[in-house]
């Protein structure tokens, strides 16, 4: 086979080596635009896993590289004058110049032709070859020329970074978080040979501009960073090598091949540098592609298919983890202020690849320290210096107002639609009892209506009648003997999503007109084309504020420990908050602060009657997922004001404001946790998170990392109080 490889980086050179080694009759040529010893980017991280693979596929390369690698087993986090070391993170790094030199030498020894300082025009450089490989990096010309065929997409990240070297030799991989008057600066540093370290500086765009870095020359910004990190550098110098400020771009391609052209490494996919996987993925691509070509030497299509089958899923997994990690660094400012142990734990678990359980296997000491810190913090006791047994974070109590939840697990019950005139009955007791005996810290009822007209279906349970108080009181009294689980009432008004049929066969199916009741909303917009047009909330003499307050008093009398006011799911108060559904320009509609008036009036009225010592929560929609709707920053602003009005806890949810036109989330694991993190740490209020969280390990990780205070565990397949199946 005659093979032309464009790009003499790790992927291209290693692929050339493996192909030449597999079959000496292959004619392999590599073209590279730079000279043999030119390289940018100082040292690169290399994974031990990849190295193990290298040993098996080409022992000579492995032996040569093995000598050049700098290895370490720990990482340091420098934050607020402390250095926290976490162990068990096996990494190695190598100088890029030495890596390339080694690979060049090995390739040459196997008869590969290397042509340097040769600018390839694109795939046609090798028009006569059987196979053309685009190994030409993030700015690949091969990929650019065939962009439509590959289905390329680019996602630039918001942060700016510069890739320096330094003659300071770090012990281990080191993250530095430096608070400055301009904002937070982050360093990713690691040693890669006997005397040099990589020193990547990353900042948010705002900080970058405030510091004036956007207007500085390469030399000026090097001097700036050298001065800024003088304490960390201890007299050592930063070094530049085209170290200009750039934005990282995540590149993805729907497919990595077209006819006889195939992509490897950064040309095919990039993953943010903060998880150090670029070289690893590139070398692994080369191994997989060489193997596939060896197995199907006469069928390129089959070989490419096997290559992609082998690589696309693991690469996507790394890209997702890297994107999470990149987001972490973009927003790490919101975690500055965390205690050092929690800050470190939050950093170590940032990408979702390492959970608390995974970290404990690597570094039990740091997990124990975080557990102890968390327990001391949760109980208000001083952290003792000596090691001691600490409970997993989910077992830490949480005190809100004058009430203490025994643990951090929340079970939230789905609607049953079987109440009679709003009164709860046996099914409500059964599902509550199952949730309480399961040992959750908090159980939240299904949505309870504050008035008959505020019901979702005619089977919605309520809090609007003396009979309801008695029924709830009886149920709650029975639950008391089953443990110390607290029970929350979720009170709300369905607004324009009311008067629907039971939810067993679907949502928002309107009742026949003769069974329906009038709906209320800030603007006359039906929830679906088939739904009733709601009446004007502000022109009716319905006393909805009074209904919420009366329901709160009823909930208190019935003995609920906690009250949730529902401002989510497109129900009444959510519809007042969202610009999609509140189109008014009077006293109640317009800018966010005006739209907030009515929900605050409700909250204040509830606050006035709900007992001071019992916590008051709001279930809040913080993102409409719609270009014209509420965005997360609005959600943060609302949460801040709710807190000022006496709300102790925000249940952070998103969506369902409108039935059509909003973007659906991907519903992947923990899809709402990022929003909770943002609200909790920007608005300074305790939060509940939910959404595809099914294991206690996830609960522990989220709570210990400070992304939420309470976590709703999906009943999923592990726990389900009401396992209803329609299957025969």
Partner 1 sequence: MHIGIGLPTSTPGGDGSLLTDWARRADEGPFSSLGVIDRIVYRSHDPLTSLAAAAAVTRRIRLCTMIVIGPLRNTTLLAKQAASIDQLSGGRLTLGLSIGARREDYDAVGARWSRRGHHLSQQLAELRDIWETARSADDQPRDSHIGPAPAQPDGPELLVGGLSGASFLRAARYADGYVHGGGPPRAFAGAANRARAAWLDAGRPGEPVLWGQSYFALGDAAAGEAYMRDYYGFAGAFAEKIAAGLLTSPTAIREQIRGYEEGGCHELVLLPATSDPAELDRLADIVG
| Contacting positions for partner 1 (CB under 8 A) | 255, 257, 301-302, 304-306, 308-309, 414-417, 447, 503-509, 528-530, 569, 653, 655-656, 659-660, 663-669, 671, 690-692, 694, 714-717, 720, 722-728
For partner 1, give the closer residue by CB, 235 or 728: 728
Count of beta carbons in the 10 Å neighbourhood of residue 660: 7
Residue written as tokens 């993805």? 252
Q: Are 16 and 28 in contact (CB under 8 A)?
A: yes
Tokens representing residue 143 in the block: 């990929």
The three-state DSSP-derived secondary structure of 370-412 is HHHHHHHHHHCCCCCCCCCCCCCHHHCCEEECCEEECCCEEEE
Q: How far is the CB of 33 from partner 1 (least distance, A)?
A: 29
Residue 30: strand pairing partners: 5, 114
> Least distance in Å: CB of 666 to partner 1?
5
Nearest to partner 1 of 579, 721 (CB atom): 721
| 383/511 with CB nearer partner 1 | 511
**Nearer to partner 1 among residue 115 and residue 530 (C-beta):** 530
Coil, helix or strand for 202? strand
Of 95 and 412, the one with the shorter C-beta distance to partner 1 is 412
> Environment class of residue 395 by beta-carbon count within 10 Å: exposed (0-12), middle (13-18) or buried (19+)?
buried
Comparison of 593 and 722: residue with beta carbon closer to partner 1: 722
Here the tokens at position 209 are 């501009």
Return contacts of 223-226, CB within 8 angstroms, 24+ apart: 225/162, 225/164, 225/185, 225/201
The number of CA neighbours under 13 Å toward the Cβ of 334 is 23
Backbone φ and ψ for 634, nearest 5 degrees, come out as -65, -40
Backbone φ and ψ of 437, nearest 5° = -70, -20
Least Å distance between CB 727 and partner 1? 6
Sign of CA dihedral 277, 278, 280, 286: positive
Quote the CA–CA distance of 467 and 503 in Å, as a whole number.
24
Nearest to 170 by CA among 48, 42, 275, 76: 76
Instruction: Compute the C-alpha angle 436/438/443, nearest 5°.
Output: 40
Query: At closest approach, how far in Å is the CB of 30 from partner 1?
Result: 25
What is the smallest separation between the CB atom of 563 and partner 1, expressed in angstroms? 19
330-339 b/e (C-beta count within 10 Å ≥ 16 → b): bbbbebeebb
- Compare residues 247 and 668 and give the one whose CB is closer to partner 1: 668
Burial of 516 (0-12, 13-18, 19+ CB in 10 A): middle
Is 571 among the catalytic positions?
yes
Closer CB to partner 1, residue 426 or residue 612?
Answer: 426
Nearest approach, Cβ of residue 569 and partner 1 (Å): 7
Left, alpha or beta for 242 (phi > 0: left; psi -120 to 50: alpha)? left
For partner 1, give the closer residue by CB, 536 or 722.
722
Contact 91, 173 (CB under 8 A): yes
User: For partner 1, which is the closer residue by CB, 518 or 716?
Assistant: 716
Nearer to partner 1, 37 or 299 (CB): 299
DSSP, res 657: S
Q: Which is nearer to partner 1, 359 or 622 (CB)?
A: 622
Residue 81: count of CB within 10 angstroms of its CB: 7
Question: How far is residue 625 from each of residues 468, 508, 596, 708, measured CA to CA in Å?
Answer: 36, 20, 19, 21
Residues 16 and 143 sit within 8 Å (Cβ to Cβ): no
Taking the complex as a whole, the smallest distance from the CB of residue 428 to partner 1 amounts, in Å, to 12
H-only helix segments in 592-672: 592-595, 597-609, 632-644
**Measured from the CB of residue 430, what is the shortest distance to partner 1 in angstroms?**
14
Q: How near is the Cβ of 512 to partner 1 at its closest, in Å? A: 9
Least distance between partner 1 and beta carbon 578 (Å)? 17
- The one catalytic residue in 571, 598, 667, 719 is 571
User: To the nearest whole angstrom, how small is the minimum distance from the Cβ of residue 257 to partner 1?
Assistant: 7
CB of 94 to partner 1, least distance (A): 33
Closer to partner 1 at the Cβ: 242 or 504? 504
Strands (E) across 337-485 are located at 398-400, 403-405, 409-412, 442-449
Q: Are 103 and 15 in contact (CB under 8 A)?
A: no
Give min distance, CB of 506 to partner 1, in A: 5
Distance from CA of residue 479 to its chain's centroid? 36
**Residue 460: which of 602, 617, 566, 580 has the closest Cα?**
566
546 contact partners, CB below 8 Å, separation of at least 6: 605
Per-position b or e across 556-590, b if 16+ CB within 10 A of its CB? bebbbbbbbbbbbbbbbbbbbbbbbbbebeeebbe
Tokens of 528: 């679906």
Alpha-carbon separation of residue 2 from 31, 261, 308 (angstroms): 14, 13, 21
Place of tokens 């000491």: 365
Q: Which residues are catalytic?
A: 571
């Amino acid at each position: 086979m005659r093979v032309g490889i464009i790009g003499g980086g790790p992927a291209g050179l290693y692929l050339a080596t493996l192909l030449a080694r597999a079959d000496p009759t292959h004619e392999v040529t590599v073209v590279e635009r730079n000279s043999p010893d030119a390289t940018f980017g100082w040292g690169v991280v290399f994974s031990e896993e990849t190295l193990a693979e290298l040993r098996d596929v080409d022992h000579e390369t492995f032996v040569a590289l093995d000598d050049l690698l700098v290895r370490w087993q720990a990482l340091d986090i420098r934050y607020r004058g402390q250095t926290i070391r976490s162990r068990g993170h096996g990494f190695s790094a190598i100088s890029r110049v030495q890596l390339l030199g080694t690979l060049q030498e090995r390739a040459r020894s196997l008869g590969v032709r290397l042509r340097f300082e040769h600018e390839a025009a694109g795939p046609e450089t090798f028009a006569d070859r059987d196979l053309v490989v685009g190994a030409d990096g993030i700015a690949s010309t091969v990929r650019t020329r065939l962009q439509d065929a590959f289905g390329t997409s680019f996602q630039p990240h918001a942060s700016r970074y510069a890739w320096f070297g330094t003659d300071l030799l770090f012990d281990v991989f080191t993250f530095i978080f430096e608070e400055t008057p301009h904002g937070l600066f982050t360093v990713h540093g690691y040693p890669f040979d006997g005397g040099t370290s990589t020193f990547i500086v990353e900042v948010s765009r705002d900080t970058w501009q405030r510091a004036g870095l956007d207007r500085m020359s390469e030399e000026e910004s090097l001097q700036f960073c050298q001065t800024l990190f003088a304490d960390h550098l201890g007299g050592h110098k930063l070094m530049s090598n085209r170290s200009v400020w750039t934005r990282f771009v995540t590149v993805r391609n729907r497919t990595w091949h077209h006819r006889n052209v195939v992509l490897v490494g950064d040309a095919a996919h990039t993953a943010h540098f903060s998880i150090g996987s670029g070289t690893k993925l590139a070398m692994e691509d080369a191994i997989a592609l060489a193997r596939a070509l060896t197995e199907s030497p006469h069928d390129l299509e089959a070989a490419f298919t096997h290559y992609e089958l082998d690589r696309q899923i693991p690469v996507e997994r790394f890209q997702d983890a890297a994107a999470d990690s990149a987001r972490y660094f973009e927003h790490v400012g919101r975690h500055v202020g965390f205690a050092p142990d929690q800050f470190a734990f939050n950093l170590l678990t940032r990408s979702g690849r390492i959970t608390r359980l995974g970290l404990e296997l690597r570094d039990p000491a740091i997990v124990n320290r975080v557990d102890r810190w968390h327990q001391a913090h949760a109980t208000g006791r001083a952290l003792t210096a000596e090691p001691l047994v600490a409970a997993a974070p989910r077992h830490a109590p949480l005190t809100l107002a004058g009430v203490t939840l025994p643990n951090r697990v929340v079970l939230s019950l789905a609607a049953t639609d079987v109440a009679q005139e709003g009164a709860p009955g046996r099914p409500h007791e059964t599902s509550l009892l199952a949730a309480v005996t399961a040992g959750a810290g908090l159980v939240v009822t299904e949505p309870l209506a504050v008035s008959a007209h505020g019901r979702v279906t005619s089977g919605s349970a309520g809090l609007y009648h003396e009979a309801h108080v008695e029924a709830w009181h009886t149920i709650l009294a029975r639950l008391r003997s089953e443990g110390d689980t607290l029970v929350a009432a979720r009170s709300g008004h369905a607004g324009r999503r009311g008067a629907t049929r039971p939810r067993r066969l679907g949502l928002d199916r309107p009742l026949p007109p003769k069974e329906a009741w009038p709906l209320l909303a800030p603007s006359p917009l039906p929830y679906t084309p088939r739904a009733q047009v709601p009446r004007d909330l502000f022109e009716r003499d319905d006393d909805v504020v009074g209904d919420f307050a009366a329901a709160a008093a009823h909930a208190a009398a019935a003995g609920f420990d906690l009250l949730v006011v529902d401002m989510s799911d497109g129900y009444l108060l959510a519809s007042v908050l969202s610009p999609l559904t509140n189109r008014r320009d009077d006293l109640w509609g317009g800018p966010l602060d005006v739209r907030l008036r009515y929900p605050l009036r409700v909250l204040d009225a509830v606050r006035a009657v709900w007992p001071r010592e019992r916590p008051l929560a709001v279930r809040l929609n913080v993102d409409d997922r719609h270009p014209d709707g509420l965005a997360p920053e609005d959600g943060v602003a609302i949460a801040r004001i709710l807190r000022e009005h006496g709300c102790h806890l925000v249940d952070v949810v998103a969506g369902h404001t409108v039935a059509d036109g909003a973007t659906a989330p991907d519903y992947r694991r923990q899809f709402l946790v990022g929003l909770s993190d943002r609200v909790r740490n920007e608005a300074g209020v305790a939060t509940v998170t939910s959404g595809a969280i099914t294991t206690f390990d996830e609960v522990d990780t989220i709570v210990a990392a400070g992304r939420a205070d309470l976590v709703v565990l999906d009943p999923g397949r592990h726990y389900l109080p009401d396992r209803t199946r329609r299957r025969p």
